[in-house]
Chains A and B, each alone.
Chain A
Amino acid sequence: MAARKTTKKPNVSAEELKTYYREMLLIRRFEEKAGQLYGMGLIGGFCHLYIGQEAVVVGLEAAAEEGDKRITSYRDHGHMLACGMDPGGVMAELTGRIGGLSKGKGGSMHMFSKEKHFYGGHGIVGAQVPLGAGLAFADKYKGNGRVTFTYFGDGAANQGQVYETFNMAALWQLPVVFVIENNQYAMGTAQSRSTSTKDIYHRGEAFGIPGEIVNGMDVLAVKEAGEKAVAHCRAGKGPYILEVKTYRYRGHSMSDPAKYRTREEVQKVREQSDPIEHVRELLLSGKHASEDDLKAIDKEIKEVVNKAAEFAKESPEPPVEELWTDIYA
């Protein structure tokens, strides 16, 4: 991960910066809490944390309009929080309780919100890519001007269905932004060991899909690129690819022995490129906020997360009848 460029003076309001700070911090604190609850045995199974990648969804959500759709993989908590889904509902789904967004039946990897146009939360690597193009297909069919953000990782980028989808999305000019969240490791396999090309977005060129690299540790850069991509789609020009270079600080899932990369590598990114620290510096150096202002935000976020965790612990398990519901509409 290249060190962040800090030379450019961002043209952004104090309020906007504070919003990004708050939203990214919410994701980080939420994920830390989820990690704790997992350690306590309150969350089971697979749990994939988003820590380090916060600027990606926060930046792209800033480029979205009401009614735009989003779909992603199993590393989905950040996406849900960023599009405004209730932290308590997300956390209670992680603990498998009736108050969870899927009534405790989906878990960490399978959550949805029709209201927020969040279409999951998908557990099969790459499967969300044609599904996302399908959402865009429906929007184009209805002519409603909406755009779908279809997120997938550098690992999923090697699935065949991604390229089947690129072909049809380009052929049919579907309004879909393909967001490759390149955190450089497909589970434990470094990109250089799994992927023939250094920059994955180039693969879109074979299908005539434009794309670009984005610094995923800089929320402002992500937002700017997102706006460009969305404008392209909304203008009816078809799909667009954003390859967002990012980094996950935690393991692939909670049971990651972390043998495939060095501690120093992770520490270096944390120290030099942390997306939340970046906005914090901008706020402080631009005199948009004082240390006390930020402490107040930290406290506010901590309370939101604690409340979510309390709800997730107190919400009861789903009643046994739920075993047999929601199989057929």
Chain B
Amino acid sequence: MNRSLIISSFLHGALILITAMSLPFLAKKPLDIPPIVSVELIQIAEKTNIPFAPKAKKIIEKKKKKKLKEKEKKLVSEQAPPKKVKKTKTKTVVSLDEKKEKIDNQTAEAIPLPDKNVKKIETKKENKQNPDKLDKEVKQVSEFEKKEFVDLDNIAKLIDKAKEDTAEIIKKNNNITQDQDKNIVTSGLTLSEEDALKAQIFGCWSIPLGLPYNEDLLVRIKLMLEPDGSVVKTEILDHARMNKPGQGFFKVLAESALRAVKLCQPLRVPTSGYERWKELQLNFDAREMLEG
């Protein structure tokens, strides 16, 4: 009797133990975060990874107000990025500045990099990455200012240290994590970059309404682009279809797609990674619109 009781208790205990161990594990599975979320996060980080120090920015702004105009000028010149920086982030910042107008035109659909941020990024970088130069500057200003500037650098460094480190690590790995890799292979652009480009072309593409929507209405166009998004060359990939009997509509569709590309240029392309997107394929598919 006792023996049966012990065996029964033991088995029940084992059952409860197994249940407790395995069920939460099973329950966790469906909660796995889909990879696309992490991909997007990383891609955005890639854009915004440029050293960012809001506190330092505030202090700099305060400082600037106090300073004379001459000193401000000096600061700007002093903050010129060193060679090391040019290789990585400074390059991006400079290009952003140069293309300020374009960024403005991109509205909400473009990667959000408002002017303020751009400024912030500049100052921060300079502070962090040019300690030597800053020392020289400090010599030129008063003791009080000196101290503040030193502090500023330190703050900026401290705040941005972590971000810089991660950014550098990412760059060492060719900017590609496993998740990023997946995304780049399939789309090549971040979701926000792709959305910006799509939104631009949607507005330019006048779909010929007479196309037979029960036919294959896909036209693939390969583009060669300049870094500013202007189109150097277009190539219709299924060119043979143009002259096939019964495919007259394809010519109309292809021409409309080419018109859209020309009307839209310069295209809203990412500000960096030109090598990645200097060749781009646009797949125009009118079927969804015409069927709807």
A and B form one complex: no
Residues of A within 8 A of B (CB): none
